[in-house]
Amino acid sequence: VGGAMSSLRLLQTGRPYQLPPLTSGLAPDSVKGLEEWRAVVERAAAIAAEAAADKASRRRPQQSAK
């Protein structure tokens, strides 16, 4: 949680309580050891880089052949 966000959730009287959103991804204790954690992080970074490159390539205007 960054400085701009609070980890506390305000309760507003008179309104029903709403659970926080579900998390996604791996549970912190599901990775056994530093090397496995590093492999997971590196794979996630590679997937994110591939998605960003794909998105960038779709934004570029197509150059016409002469």
**How many percent of the chain have pLDDT more than 70?**
74
**45 part of a folded domain:** yes
Q: Is the pLDDT of residue 62 over 70?
A: no
Structural domain of residue 45, as residue ranges? 33-60
**52 part of a folded domain:** yes
Look at the pTM and tell me if it is higher than 0.75. no
Domains contained in the chain, number: 1
Q: Is the pLDDT of residue 53 over 70?
A: yes
Per residue in 20-52, pLDDT (tens digit) is 888 887 787 888 899 998 998 999 999 999 999
Query: b/e per residue, 11-34, with b = 16+ CB within 10 A?
Result: eeeeeeeeeeeeeeeeeeeeeeee
**24 part of a folded domain:** no
Q: Average per-residue pLDDT in the chain?
A: 80
Q: Is the pLDDT of residue 63 over 70?
A: no
How many Å apart are CA 49 and CA 41, to the nearest integer?
12
**38 part of a folded domain:** yes
**48 part of a folded domain:** yes
**26 part of a folded domain:** no
